[in-house]
Structure 1
């Protein structure tokens, strides 16, 4: 992005829709996971325990993504401008917004992109949580198919 292009940031409507949908999905997955966990204690089933664990892992993953989006939603132009000035100073040439991985980067004149606004722990923890959620989901599917055959 050159200096004469307008300020680029995440599309506000998409951020708002992702926030609302992500919040609802987090609550639904957490409630589903807890209800399944309660049923697991009564049934003493490993398959339902895996389903519960995978639902709770997905709830945590989506919840953390929503947490990162909330930082984007709250940050106004002044906050972003000050963060970019602090990160790259007078070398600022543009902005690099991204939904996956979730970041808002300030591009400097030497070509490097410095992420600002979103806490630095969000993307690494999201990666770990995503691997855990996918793994638990695969194990739950395999376990439920073994149980039905």
Structure 2
């Protein structure tokens, strides 16, 4: 639950910041450095939102419902189940079988790959923003 509340707080904070960046008074001062930063933050916010969506699938199911879902999705040839565990990275609920074969349930399959792509986009945008920052400073000094 702590991860959920920290995620919600972070998501609301980033969203509020990004909304403030869209105000009319900040648009004339918009540069490529700031755009890179904002794209990175938007990708992070989207990734957090997706992560929280996946987390909701696990958090609000009782132990009995989780066990039933593990039984319902048990692959052919897998003997009885011996337990369940939740992993946070990647986000998944793992059903453990007695033969050592594990499988994941409940988390939609698109969540983890999409989070990976959004993380990569955020990193690339942040790096681009850092690389462009010195160039922008020298360009503004030459004008002034």
Q: TM-score range by the shorter chain?
A: 0.7 to 0.9
Tell me how large the CA RMSD over aligned residues is. Answer: 1.9
Structure 1, unpaired ranges of 5+: 1-15
Cα 1:40/1:110, change in 2 over 3 Å: farther
Aligned to 2:63: 77
- Per-residue CA distance 1:70-125 (angstroms, 9 max, x = gap): 22211111210110111227521222321110111112234322111222211111
Aligned to 2:131: 142
Q: Secondary structure in 2 aligned to 1:101? A: coil
Contact 2:14 2:41 in 1 (8 A): yes
User: Within the alignment, does 1:18 sit opposite 2:7 as a pair?
Assistant: no
Structure 1 residue 17: deviation in Å? 1.1
User: Within the alignment, does 1:101 sit opposite 2:90 as a pair?
Assistant: yes
Contact 1:37 1:48 in 2 (8 A): no
User: Within the alignment, does 1:130 sit opposite 2:119 as a pair?
Assistant: yes
- Runs of 4+ aligned residues of structure 1 deviating over 6 Å after TM superposition are none
- How many residues of Structure 1 are paired with residues of Structure 2 in the alignment? 134
Separation in 2, partners of 1:99, 1:71: 13
Using the size of structure 1 for normalisation, the TM-score is: 0.79
Structure 2, unpaired ranges of 5+: 139-144
